[in-house]
Amino acid sequence: MNGKASRYSNRDADFLMGLGSLYLAHNLLDPAEELLAQIPSEGALYFDAIVLQIEIQFRKRNYQEVVRLAETLVHSSNYPAWLLEKIGVAYYFLGQASNAKRYLMQSMADIPQNSRVRDNLMSLRPLNQRPKIEELIMGGFEIGITPHVALDCIAPILLGGRPASCCFGDQLLAGDQPSNSEANQQNFYVKFAANLYQGFGIFTAFLPYVDLSLGQCVPLLKLFFSLDPSVFDRVEDIKQLAWNEFEKQKEGSNHRFEYLEKEGALLGYPKCCVDWALKNRRSNRSIEALALRALIEEEYVCSLETSKPSPPGWAYFAHEFYPCKPRCPVAEQVGIDIFEGYRKKEPFLADLYCQHALSVNKAKMYHPVTSYSLFIDNFNKTMVQILKIEAFKKAHEDFDLYHEEMLVILKEYPYFENPEALPLVYAMAKERTSQKFATNVRQAVN
């Protein structure tokens, strides 16, 4: 900080911090930087002011300044994970891969080691009888599994449609993930893996890595699921390859994405799709953009054909997967096999998988980054409503007898059209039907 900073009182510092934070929240970087730079270095808000200035310089892509500011806090042990991540990314773009790796791995220190997870699971015993998949979808919230992850990732493994699957860490229920300490976060992941293993015999392995495609540097977490305990060793191999490539990236080496080849093999992706993705990644081409273009062209052709062929869909069997073409026969067969598994063992869920999961996965092609979470949120909410209705119907065998009367009631009271009001609508329909029956009996007697 400059020498003039000492003339400000603590009250002034509070004001500067508040106004600077407000400017930053509205992305007014220059005025925010000017105010925060005036906070006294001997004051209680100095650390927070430096942290916000690091955020400002990061948004400006002034990575040298990010590193310089970070070094002023080198003796602090209070680095939040997001700050460690930004410092690591800054070092990466400055060509200092070893320093980048050190900070990035520290930012992901809350992710447990797979050896710890494996040892913990091996000390547990799965349930003798697995719950139904429908119960997983309904009860998954308790252990952090959303309906989309249950239907799209977990169930296909249990049905034999896939050898392994994966999801990103932010697809778990964020509300169930503690953020107040590294230890609590690790315990959440360990407990999550234990619950999934005890309930369904599924092993969970964790992969913290950095996505370097298209010149970016984005730390991510993937969770891999499988009935085979070898998933731990295979994910560790992928992790080692990914971080080795990360360190070589700024040393003049071309990015080979070899870890993605092993990941595709683990997840049972069609080889043609894996080869297509690798070829384009290595040429620094966006597989997301290429997949979207191919899908738009295919759906446009479908709209012109007089025979009206069905739009492509089966190939989008997993949310993180991009097929080499919208009607790749090998990828389509995987989607069909998963559907058939549902149809044979969980007929009700077969339609949900086809109508909802596949549709959401395909919709991701149009919004691969910014809006996909909205699709997932809407999917999860829709799934919960549908399953609540189905559970109520199963609990009341006479439900269909009152269906028509319930529709009449919903037209009269449209605000009742939600799962929470279903018991009330059912009771009203039942009472009205009884009254109509009694009236008809009296009229017949008279």
pLDDT digits (tens, 9 = 90+) for 239-285: 999 998 888 765 445 667 889 999 999 999 999 999 999 999 888 88
CB-hemisphere CA count at 13 Å for 270?
Answer: 21
H or E stretch at 165: strand 164-168
The CA distance from 339 to 63, in Å, is: 48
Which residue range(s) make up the domain with 42? 3-107
Q: Check residues 139 and 398 and name the one with the higher pLDDT.
A: 398
**400, part of any domain:** yes
Final residue of a domain: which of 61, 89, 107? 107
**360, part of any domain:** yes
The CA distance from 76 to 69, in Å, is: 12
402 and 384, same structural domain? Answer: no
332 and 299, same structural domain? Answer: yes
The CA distance from 88 to 104, in Å, is: 5
**282, part of any domain:** no
**8, part of any domain:** yes
**Residues 343/349/353/357 CA torsion (nearest 10 deg):** -170
The CA distance from 80 to 110, in Å, is: 11
pLDDT at residue number 178:
46
192 and 316, same structural domain? Answer: no
CB 73 within 8 A of CB 93: no
212 and 199, same structural domain? Answer: yes
pLDDT at residue number 286:
87
Structure tokens, 285: 């081409």
Q: Read out DSSP for 174-240?
A: GGGS--S-HHHHHHHHHHHHHHHHHHH--EEEEEEEEE-GGG--EEEEEEEEESSTTHHHHHHHHHH
The CA distance from 182 to 112, in Å, is: 10
78 and 144, same structural domain? Answer: no
316 and 251, same structural domain? Answer: no
Q: What is the mean pLDDT of residues 68-90?
A: 81
Residue 56 phi/psi, 5° resolution?
-60, -50
Q: DSSP state, 123? A: T
118 and 232, same structural domain? Answer: yes
406 and 297, same structural domain? Answer: no
> For residue 398, is pLDDT > 50?
yes
Final residue of a domain: which of 372, 393, 414? 393
**280, part of any domain:** no
Q: How many domains does the chain have?
A: 4
Q: What is the mean pLDDT of residues 24-52?
A: 90
209 and 195, same structural domain? Answer: yes
With cut-offs at 50, 70 and 90, classify the pLDDT of residue 126. Answer: confident
With cut-offs at 50, 70 and 90, classify the pLDDT of residue 406. Answer: confident
Q: Which residues pair with 224 in a beta bridge?
A: 166, 205
244 and 310, same structural domain? Answer: no
With cut-offs at 50, 70 and 90, classify the pLDDT of residue 221. Answer: very high
236 and 198, same structural domain? Answer: yes
Final residue of a domain: which of 86, 107, 128? 107
